[in-house]
Amino acid sequence: MIGEEKAGRILSPTTGFIAEAGFTHSLTPARNCTFGCTYCYVPTMRVFGGLKPEDWRRWGQFTTFKANAADLLRRELRPGQRIYCSPLVDPYQPAEEKRVMMPAILDALIENPPRRFVLQTRGPLILRDLERLRKIPGLRVSFSITTNREEVRRFYEPLCAPVEERWNAVRALREAGIEVYAALAPLLPCDPEELARMAAEATGRELIGDPLHVRGVKPRGATTREAAWRISARQGFTEWLDGDFQRRVVDRIRAAARECGSDFETGPGGFSRLAA
Ligand code: SF4
């Protein structure tokens, strides 16, 4: 289900994780995300970022586009901004294929580019807009790859593209001259060394990522949804929600990345590579 409404503004000053990473603003083209990932942190933030109770109660079941996003952006863009799109929705969510919102937003960025614009996505649909992306100076794409194991992807994010299709999108972006990073976030059950090698080879860059947020490590704020906890218990993956186990996985990914001449960093420090 796809809705629309007019927003009062489109760029929000950043706080928390994204601000710490060095971004000045975030851009969220829609409320609620039709990828509906089982672990998604966004609905656990409750009303943060303009979400409404119906969004976090029915996460992933509908989305509401900000119909005037491109017009607002033309007014709000400034040359020094570092913009992250988006901490609250995937700009290339399934509903974007029908609504076609992003090309007009990218046109506004081509006309008046900010210092940095980062698209955070897991949607191969981004390739539809390749020609526009190439015209935006300061553009980076952070492409989410959460595991190298297709059966794991199906458990936790059944509405997202298969892993192989995502690698192909990363390669296509790189071949088109786009600065593309692999965001190993959140880290789902995977083969850490294999995932690190594939990400380093596909991007030729340093890797960024984060384990699944859990209260043992992150006592406050956004956290992993109940649905992902249930899947983890059912499939025998509960250790992936344990802080000590997560730290060991991060160390293994870092070591494997370094063997490939890359590196791996988590948290705001990792994501600051996108904003720099
Ligand atoms: S793509 Fe991102 S914002 Fe959308 S449901 Fe998945 S984790 Fe949440």
Residue 45 pLDDT: 77
Contact residues for 194 (Cβ-Cβ < 8 A; gap 6+): 148
Task: For residue 140, list its beta bridge partners.
Answer: 118, 179
DSSP per position, 55-118: HHHTTTS-EEEETTHHHHHHHH--TT-EEEE-SSS-TT-HHHHHH--HHHHHHHHHHS--SEEE
Domains of the chain: 2-275 (3.80.30.10)
Local confidence pLDDT in tens for the 276 residues of the chain: 899 999 999 999 998 899 999 999 999 999 999 999 999 988 887 666 678 888 888 999 999 999 999 999 999 999 999 999 999 999 999 999 999 999 999 999 999 999 999 999 999 999 999 999 999 999 999 999 999 999 999 999 999 999 999 999 999 999 999 999 999 999 999 999 999 999 999 999 999 999 998 887 777 777 888 899 999 999 999 999 999 999 999 999 999 999 999 999 999 999 999 999
What one-character-per-residue DSSP string does 221-259 give? S----HHHHHHHHHHT-GGGGSHHHHHHHHHHHHHHHHH
Q: Report the distance separating Cα 44 and Cα 41, nearest Å.
A: 5
Which residues on adjacent β-strands are paired with residue 25?
13, 83
Would you state the structure tokens that stand for residue 172, as one six-digit string?
Answer: 């296509």
State the pLDDT at residue 48: 62
The alpha carbon torsion through 125, 131, 135, 141 (nearest 10 deg) reads 30
Q: What's the one-letter identity of residue 112?
A: N
Residue 56 near residue 249 (C-beta atoms within 8 A):
no
Predicted confidence at residue 265, as pLDDT, reads 97
Ligand 1 proximity of 36 Cβ (cutoff 6 Å): yes
Distance from chain centroid for Cα 136:
19
Ligand 1 pocket check: which of 35, 39, 93 to mutate, most ligand atoms within 8 Å of Cβ? 35
pTM of the model: 0.96
Question: Who's near 124: CB < 8 A, 6+ residues apart?
Answer: 92, 161, 165, 166, 168, 169
Atom 7 of ligand 1, nearest CA residue: 40
pLDDT at res. 165: 98
- Residue with the smallest CA separation from ligand 1 atom 3 is 89
Q: Which atom of ligand 1 is nearest to the CA of 157?
A: 6
Report the nearest atom of ligand 1 relative to the CA of 89. 3
The pLDDT, as a whole number, for residue 57 is: 86
